Structure 1
Amino acid sequence: MEIYGGRAGYNSVRFTGEKYQAISRFKKGEITTETRVKKRDKKIFIALSKIPFVRSFSMLVELIIENWKPFSLVFTLFLMEFLLFRNANSYTIPINTFVMLACYLILAGLIIKITPIGKYHAAEHMAASAYEKDSNLTLGKVKKQPRTHKDCGTNLVISIFICYSILFMIFGDPFWVYLISWSVGYELWKNEPKIIWDTVLVIGKAAQYALFTSKPKEKHLVVAIEAITKLEEKELASH
């Protein structure tokens, strides 16, 4: 079975396969797992996903539709930054957009790290890495895996942020810099050009380890194992 994606929640781990999704939750000392048919992408998004540089914005729209609550918070933060700092008077400490974005990234990472999300995020990575090496999962095998992963979405964020940093130093922060940073960063993530991506991956894994994951306990690992196991059962039964 091929794993197409994973996600950690406050008390859960979700894995996506070819046809199904499985999400396992730990609540009141028990693990419950729900499997469901994976939502099919709309034809317009499928078509746009084949167009380089355009597909990054198609993915963004899909993410916003699927995760509108977190994105509403991000939008609020950017709006605050625009109102408070771009229109700041002489009595306000000047803080440029680059510093604000870096602070948001670090703050988001710290919040994830100190909450159960960080532990489940690490467990997700470790279970996926173990499964890629040997589909016969055991707790012992999963414990031996690193809590970083080459396919983590953090690497996409770092890729975009690096592009933004370079363009910001040259051009400042006009709106088109955000668009180009997102588009080019996404293409780097999608195509993984050897030398450039190796560098991004080093920074991305460091960010995963330091900010976006924390050492999981056995219960977190068991939840991740359960999600993969149930997904595999459903995927194999469908063939």
Structure 2
Amino acid sequence: MKIYGGRAGYNSVSFTGDKYQALSRLKDRKITTETRLKKGDKKITIIFSKVPFVRSFSMVFELIIENWRRFLFAAIVSLLIELIFIGKSNFHLLYTIPINTLEMLFFFLVIAGLVIKISPIGKYHAAEHMIANAYESNQNLTLERVKKQPRTHRDCGTNLAVSIFICFFILSMVFGDGVWVFLVSWSIGYELWKTEPKVIWSSVLMIGKVVQYILFTAKPEDKHLKVAIEAMTRLQEKELANEN
């Protein structure tokens, strides 16, 4: 069985296979698991995924389509805040500190990482990686063996974020700060993440794993590992039971 993705939540871990997705939750000291058919890619995603340097934006479009209500709400709130506070007074009660996009991205990455690390998500994220590493090596998911696995993974989305950040850092040093520089960095960073060129990607992966370890994961307890083991086990059972 090939694993196409994993995700950690506040009290859950999910894995996605060829046809199904399994999500296990811990609630009231009990683990419950839900398995369902994997959602098919939307037409716009399929079309964009075939075009290099453009396909990086397909997942953005898909997120917007699936969560359009949230994006609309955020846009309305931002607009209202701007209308209320801009030009309301001639007095400057707050001092604004100039900050460029590179600094803002770094700040966001660190804050997001710290929030994840100190919350249960960080432990479930580590458990997700450790179970995936154990399964991909020999599919033996005993608790003792899983505990020996690293809590970083080469396919983690953190590596994509690091790849984009590195590209933006380099390009901004040459071309300066700008929206187009960020969009180009996003596209190039995604292609590096997708194709994994040996010489370049080995360096990006090394940085990405350090960031995963320090910011986006925390040492899991047995209960976190058991939830992830349950999700992977149920996914494997479902996939094998429905093989053609």
> Is the shorter-chain TM-score for this pair beyond 0.5, marking a shared fold?
yes
Query: Shift in Å at residue 75 of structure 1?
Result: 7.5
Whole-angstrom CA distance in 1 between matches of 2:177 and 2:73: 21
1:109–1:205 Cα change, 3 Å: same
Aligned to 1:128: 132
Whole-angstrom CA distance in 1 between matches of 2:57 and 2:139: 35
Give the TM-score, by structure 1 length: 0.90
- What is the count of residue pairs matched by the alignment? 234
Aligned partner of 1:181 among 185, 198, 212: 185
- Where 2:153 maps in the other structure, the secondary structure is coil
Structure 1 residue 43 corresponds to structure 2 residue 43: yes
Aligned to 2:89: none
Whole-angstrom CA distance in 2 between matches of 1:3 and 1:234: 13
Paired AA for residue 3 in structure 1? I
Paired AA for residue 143 in structure 1? K
- Where 2:202 maps in the other structure, the secondary structure is helix
Aligned to 2:30: 30
- Where 1:189 maps in the other structure, the secondary structure is helix
Structure 1 residue 93 corresponds to structure 2 residue 103: no
Give deviations 1:30-81, integer Å, cap 9, x for gaps: 00000000011123321220110110011221233445688789989x999x
- Percentage of identical aligned residues: 68
Whole-angstrom CA distance in 1 between matches of 2:28 and 2:115: 23
Give deviations 1:197-236, integer Å, cap 9, x for gaps: 0000011000000000000000000000000000000000
Paired AA for residue 17 in structure 1? G
Whole-angstrom CA distance in 2 between matches of 1:126 and 1:171: 40
5+ residue gaps in structure 1?
A: none
Q: How does 1:207-226 map to 2 (within 5 A)?
A: 207-226=211-230
Whole-angstrom CA distance in 1 between matches of 2:40 and 2:213: 33
Give the TM-score, by structure 2 length: 0.88
CA contact (8 A) 2:124 2:224 kept: yes
Aligned partner of 1:238 among 214, 217, 242: 242
CA contact (8 A) 1:49 1:59 kept: no
